[in-house]
Structure 1
Amino acid sequence: MRYVLDPEITPALRGELAGLWAGVVNAGGAVGFPPGIGPADVLPELDRHLAGVAAGSTRLLLGVDERGAAAATAFIAHTGHPLMGHWVWLKTVMVRPDIQGGGAGRQLMGAVAEAVRGFGGISAIRLTCRGGMGLERFYASCGYKEVGRVPDAIAVGGGELRDDITMWMPLT
């Protein structure tokens, strides 16, 4: 996989990202929506992310496969807070379902760390993940440490609640 930081956001890429996002959700991914959605359902949230990219407050790291198709994403958001400018939020980390399990997620997380180190002045990455899916173990294996947990903060439907887990990785 090849990674592109801040690719040009074209209508075609926007469509690919919406399809990737819906596909990840429908395969059981924990990226903000319940299963059973289509690309149109994620567009309002995707457009909020892309507005941050356009404004310069968010960076998009895009993984593309050998055909040049969107295969992985990570949105890297600056906090915008004067006391928290030394770290970034990692949001909407996704790997296309057909390539999951083969190391693509670990490769993406390595590419994220490399990209953020290149920003200058950033000493840590923060992310949140949904409990009950093993994601905290995956992120821990990539160098992140669990630093907080809010029990039952995420309602996934059908009365099921999951913990909201905060992970942190120093870059130094």
Structure 2
Amino acid sequence: MTSDDSPRFTQYTSPEELPDGLVPALADCWTEVSDAGGAAGFPFPPVDPAEVAAAVDRIVTGLDPASSRLVVATVDGALAGWLCLRRDPHPLVAHWGTLHHVQTRLGVRGRGIGAGLVRRARVIAREEMGLEQLRLAARGGIGLEGFYGRLGWREIGRWPGALRLAADDDRDEILMVLTPL
């Protein structure tokens, strides 16, 4: 990667902050990733673009500095990937957060953008949200535990066969944690 195409990471904490064109770009990315079989929230390709747009709208309208952040990666001004970082404000669990919908566009895979997004989320969680740990649930059978493991996450459990992608394709849901931040 040259300096011209290095990713830029930006977080958004309220719907008003999002630049024009970002919401449809998020939906396009999510559709592309899901239709390619990605484990980002829509397991049955092809996805309905209207359903994806509605899900993006729910994420965007729920942005809040205390509980929900959107982290995006851009390359040359174009969306390359994104994720959601959330926390539940209930006092029993307010010390940890979760990552959701980690994804990168197919054309930029293998360039460290996904890893960069996860690293940036870690910094935001620790330094800006005051979190002590992060959690996520990943789909088994596609190597995600290795990806997250290289970034310091560790597997803490599995729900065997929790995800049914097809009649003959049950996958484990892998529970992972990153602590300390």
TM-score norm. by structure 2 comes to 0.86
Map 1:33-52 to 2 at 5 A.
33=42, 34-52=44-62
Aligned to 2:40: 31
Query: Residue 176 of structure 2: SS of its match in structure 1?
Result: strand
Query: Deviations for 1:10-48, whole angstroms, at most 9, x for unmatched residues?
Result: 562111100000011122210121221253231222222
**Higher mean C-alpha deviation, range 40-49 or range 5-14:** 5-14
| Percent identity for Structure 1 against Structure 2 | 35
Q: 1:120 to 1:112 in 2, by over 3 A?
A: closer
TM-score norm. by structure 1 comes to 0.90
Map 1:21-170 to 2 at 5 A.
21-33=30-42, 34-53=44-63, 57-66=67-76, 68-170=77-179
Q: Which amino acid aligns with 1:6?
A: Y
The 8 Å contact of residues 19 and 38 in structure 1, kept in 2 or not, is answered as no
Select which of 10, 22, 32 maps to 1:4. 10
- Counterpart Cα distance in 2 of 1:117 and 1:131: 27
Deviation at 1:121, TM superposition (A): 2.4
Q: Which amino acid aligns with 2:126?
A: R
Query: Deviations for 1:126-171, whole angstroms, at most 9, x for unmatched residues?
Result: 1110001110111011100001110111121344211111100013
Q: How many residues align?
A: 171
**Higher mean C-alpha deviation, range 49-58 or range 10-19:** 49-58
Cα RMSD between the aligned structures? 1.8
Stretches of 4+ aligned residues off by more than 6 angstroms: none
Aligned to 2:28: 19
